[in-house]
Chain A
Amino acid sequence: MKFNRAFLVVGVIALAVAGFFFGKRFLENREVARVSEITKTSSDILIRRTAARLGREGAPVTVVEFFDPECESCRAFHPMTKMLLEEFQGKVLFVFRYAPFHPNSRFAIQILEAARKQNRYWETLDTLYQYQPQWGDHHNPRPELVWNYISKLDLDIEKLKAEMSSPEIEEIIKQDTQEGQTLGVRMTPSFFVNGVPLKTFGYEPLRQLIIQALTKQGE
């Protein structure tokens, strides 16, 4: 009797754990299928012409990153994005889109987009990431500090301030937020490789997904 009872308890635990991981797998596969279907029918929703991009245009593999300049993981992952660009030079195009999930994300994105008009997008992004712990501190955010940091860049700050709240930039943020929702972006950074969402976040999983996509393309 006692043995049976121990068996029962262990069985329930095993069932709970198995159910958890089975459900996880099931939902993940369903989500990947759902998103892949959307991106297959309309690649526009994923790869907006207006989005910032790095790498070779027309490359066999397109990686779309949804990011937030105020997100710590995006900051930590950014050097790895650069490493992947280096490794797959000429074979990959990186498209950068926004998922503003933090209180000052909008502000940082507006600055970034206005800097893009002056051809200083990547320097500005690097600077924002470099000083993110100061201006984007979760307990004491001080977005006004951003002005000090970017003053060292070759930017026309007056022009940038005038342009950062333009309806055009507003539209980009709105569109990225909406389309991110449609594509199931709940965390930043979120990646899509040729329309397939990256299930497990990490450098190596992303790298493997790129290699998989390249193999599929016969590269």
Chain B
Amino acid sequence: MDNWLKLFGLWFVSVAATTGSLFFSEVMMLPPCLLCWYQRIAMYPLVLLFGLALFPLDLKVIRYALPLALIGWGIAVYHNLLYYKLIPEHMAPCTQGISCTTVLLEWLGFITIPLLSLVAFTIILSGLIHLRKSYEV
């Protein structure tokens, strides 16, 4: 598969994540918690970064997208650990507004919003690392 298609795939994931999260908050009226907001900050710019890097294909984008993806992934991991009670809730930094551990949505019994975010960031992060290898060679 050529690099363009790989980058296109990552862009596609970021578009899906962005549209989906906006749909959850603006249409389904599920209020985003604090950690969700931090993940959004890392995810939304990727749509533009990846999109622009597709025309013409510019793999330098890895350099700029990787830190965002890494930060977003880190927050997503932390959020999921909280969410699935693998670390105690009192460590949660969310005292105001909506709690980060409130389960607002559960599809098929296990698909939750933080899990979707983690999946998206994992795909993007691993994709970028993979692309970086082939780019450097």
Contacts and interface: CB of A to CB of B under 8 A. Distances in A.
Interface of A: 5-6, 8-9, 12-13, 16-17, 19-20, 23-24, 27-28, 186-187
Contacts, number: 32
Nearest to A186: B29
Contacts of A13: 15
Contacts of B4: 5
Nearest to B19: A16
B27 A23 contact: yes
A9 B51 contact: yes
Interface of B: 4, 8, 11-12, 15-16, 19, 22-23, 27-29, 51, 54-55
A76 B34 CA distance: 28
Contacts of A24: 23, 27
Contact of A20 (B8, B23, B29, B55): B23
Dominant SS among interface residues on chain B: helix
11 contacts: A5-B4, A6-B55, A12-B12, A12-B15, A13-B15, A16-B16, A16-B19, A17-B19, A24-B27, A27-B27, A27-B28
A23 B26 CA distance: 11
Nearest to B56: A2
A5 B54 contact: yes
Contacts of A12: 12, 15
Contacts of A186: 29
Contacts of A28: 27
A13 B12 CA distance: 9
Contacts of A23: 23, 27
Contacts of B29: 186-187
User: Top 5 A-B pairs ranked by shortest CB distance?
Assistant: A24-B27, A16-B19, A186-B29, A16-B15, A20-B19
Contacts of B54: 5, 9
Contacts of A19: 19
Interface centre among B4, B19, B22, B55 (most CB of A within 10 A): B19
B86 to A, nearest CB: 30
Contacts of B8: 5, 8-9
Interface centre among A6, A12, A24, A27 (most CB of B within 10 A): A12
Nearest to B30: A186
Contacts of B22: 20
A87 to B, nearest CB: 30
Nearest to B55: A6
A24 B27 CA distance: 6
Contacts of A20: 19, 22-23, 27
Contacts of A187: 29
A23 B23 CA distance: 8
B107 to A, nearest CB: 14
Nearest to B51: A9
Contacts of B55: 5-6, 9
B54 to A, nearest CB: 6
Nearest to B29: A186
A44 B16 CA distance: 42
